[in-house]
Amino acid sequence: MLPRSTAELKRLAIKHGFSYCGVSKAEFLEEEAPRLEKWLKEGKHGSMTYMERNFDKRLDPRLLVPGARSVVSLLFNYFPGNDMEGREMKVSRYAWGEDYHTVVKDHLYLLLQDMSEVYGNIEGRVFVDSAPVMDKVWAKKSGLGWVGKNTNLIRKGEGSYFFIAEMILDIDLEADGPVTDHCGTCTACIDACPTDAIVEPYVVDGSKCISYFTIELKEAIPDSYKGKFEDWIFGCDVCQEVCPWNRFSGMHNEPRFAPKEGWMSLSREGWREMTHELFDHWFKDSPLQRAGYDGLKRNVKFVTDPE
């Protein structure tokens, strides 16, 4: 049987709030296997031991979803604008509103529901950064962009402020092809990284990244990084802010990504004095819950305490 057309799928994806949709054949990621193994052996995942688990499933979606035939990759815009002026502490843009895992997955389920009316009975699973799925690799394979020197997925003329989601399905769909790399000779992200985490083009040492220190690391942040965080207390957008392609980023239109009023104008002292009650009020359904109250307070103290 010939693969099914994806024209209607892509129309439905736009209807349900996604910016772009691409398709790949569900197969073993042969080129990625040695790269992932080398990255893990060199300890570039730091204390993120979950990266070591399910190695085979990360590389073959058919092991994750039995009967899988197609991987549908989708991009969801989260860019809220560049206005950081007047903010004494910085939170990565993806975390300003409600947790993207919940928001994007809600859109995915509605899309899958509509797809069943076009393609009939569909079996599979949906993912939003929540399982051993190499989302950037699949998005690249399906032509949604290229993986840049900062290891973010970048779209020509649009940038990288997108969440990536997947549907791994048991139906044959027409596969798209990859696009070319447009980083060229630019090294802006490498030059700007405050902690030198981009150790070479297309390779990030996760154990040196501000996002790792402020979100994933549960122990004390090493003193050797004092003075290097540039006021980032949850995540970091530096390598995206300096990327020339992000000059073309367009604003998202998802109401659930709007921040709760109040916290974005907090002073340094306001962050330091934040109570658990205020944290829960502002960040109840936020990605900041991953760091938790104690983790956020640790980050604020690390950034604001004198060297």
Confidence label for 307 from pLDDT (cuts 50, 70 and 90): low
The pLDDT of residue 265? 87
The pLDDT of residue 25? 97
129 is catalytic: yes
Q: pLDDT at residue 84 above 70?
A: no
- Average pLDDT value for residue range 7-20: 97
CA distances from 124 to 11, 16, 167, 170 (A): 20, 19, 7, 6
Q: Report the chain's mean pLDDT, rounded to a whole number.
A: 92
- Average pLDDT value for residue range 228-244: 97
Q: pLDDT at residue 49 above 90?
A: no
Burial (CB < 10 A; 0-12, 13-18, 19+), residue 238, is buried
Give the span between the Cα atoms of 127 and 133, in whole angstroms.
8
The pLDDT of residue 50? 65
Q: pLDDT at residue 292 above 70?
A: yes
Tell me the per-residue pLDDT of 134-173, one tens digit each, with 9 for 90 and over: 999 999 999 999 999 999 999 999 999 999 999 999 999 9
pTM of the model: 0.94
Residue with tokens 């009316």: 117
Q: pLDDT at residue 228 above 90?
A: yes
Determine the 3-state secondary structure of 292 from DSSP.
helix
Tell me which of 60, 114, 129, 172 is the catalytic residue. 129
Give the span between the Cα atoms of 111 and 49, in whole angstroms.
33
Residues 6 or more apart whose CB falls under 8 angstroms from that of 160 comprise 145, 148, 150, 152, 153, 154, 240, 243, 245, 246
